Chain A
């Protein structure tokens, strides 16, 4: 080994992690090489001083804050989460849609993912910050929001919208989900849901609106509303869901619209297939 190689091994030599043969080589070299001797002693002194630096000890404030935060987290985790109820419904619904619908599995995954993110941001907003200074709490929240944005961005292949839209989308989603838990739904709510289904820019919100309409699939005006929104719908995910919706109701009025879809070459093949299957069902 030359001097340079010898000196590169000094750290390992000092900490005793060098193989015995290498260590012996270094020991021998040090006996005869003045340059390396100087390097070695300078390095040893540096390491000695470095290791003598005191270990920083945190104040009691840190532990107190941590345990206050942990307690709060546990309380939140133990409390029944209203969103979990809605999500389990969504789960059940999607499961009922599932037979031979790979596209829908993707939709289900997306819906749950968005749901999870929504729940996360929701809980985050509600959770009291363990920080005593509002500015630190704010910075933390900002950090988490930007984190959230990154996660949304990473799903860009599915749904691309900005954080701003995402937030307002969350609010809209929340609105739709609350209707899921209502026992009776009046006409005004149904009209709002149909409006959401037709015009909301978020695929996820439209899917949820459609789910909320499912209990009312027997009503003519609901099926008519869904059928009216179908030609305007751009997302294959929602298109397939709408087709399943009218097929589930065995609504013969849907046949012309479905036939139209099977003939259209500009739409997704999965949608055309779904329309064809639905026609058989009718």
Chain B
């Protein structure tokens, strides 16, 4: 990043290679939209370049990149506030890699993951965000706290609540399916 800040634009390609997948995963899980998420990743790199002079070599670059990503996501949500736009696209679940030999097992497992995907999308935004940052983006609680500008304790409480909600929603959905 320091090279990019100094004007070496080619090095932005290195940053892209390193961060495109995690960033894409972040946006898909936050927005539930695959196609839009590709554009959002692009926007993050656009802003990295645009705001490169504001980057301070303190802490991890990943903290800064998620700082930008959260703003991009917030802008996206502001523009698409309708519920329809925020519903999870079905292919998010359908596009699972498949290693299961038996069709039954595969169906059951995909069903189960679809339920989890659906439960995750039903979480309140701020709970889902903490969970995604921690479980999928592998940010530590103290890193998330700095990102959200709150205390580590507050992040832990939020993560705990998010997980409890997720569990409740997931088990409820599973009961509904069995019924």
Give A residues with C-beta under 8 Å from B: 7-8, 10-12, 17, 42-43, 45-47, 49-59, 61-63, 65-67, 69-70, 73-74, 77, 120, 130-131, 136, 139-140, 143
- Apart from A11-B156, A47-B135, A56-B34, list 6 A-B contacts with CB within 8 A: A11-B159, A17-B140, A50-B116, A50-B120, A56-B28, A56-B29
A62 partner residues in chain B, CB cutoff 8 A? 20, 24, 38, 41-42
Whether A140 touches B9, Cβ cut-off 8 Å, given contacts A11-B156, A53-B116, is no
Give B residues with C-beta under 8 Å from A: 7, 9-10, 12-13, 16, 20-21, 24-25, 28-29, 34, 37-39, 41-43, 45-46, 49-50, 75, 79, 92, 95-97, 112-113, 116-117, 120, 131, 134-136, 140-141, 156-157, 159-160, 163-164, 166-167, 170-171
Q: Which of B20, B34, B49, B135 contacts A63 (CB 8 A)?
A: B20
A59 partner residues in chain B, CB cutoff 8 A? 38
Closest 3 CB pairs of A and B: A56-B28, A46-B167, A62-B38
Which DSSP category, helix, strand, loop or mixed, fits chain B's interface?
A: helix
Can you pick out 14 interface pairs between chain A and chain B where the beta carbons lie within 8 Å of each other?
A8-B156, A10-B160, A11-B134, A42-B171, A43-B164, A49-B113, A49-B116, A56-B34, A57-B24, A58-B21, A61-B38, A66-B16, A69-B42, A131-B39
Q: Are A73 and B9 in contact (CB under 8 A)?
A: yes
Which of B116, B141, B159 counts the most A-chain CB atoms under 10 A from its CB?
B116
Q: Which of A11, A51, A56 contacts B25 (CB 8 A)?
A: A56
Q: Are A11 and B160 in contact (CB under 8 A)?
A: yes
Q: Name the CB-closest residue of A to B112.
A: A49
Q: Once bound together, how far apart are the Cα atoms of A219 and B112, in whole Å?
A: 84
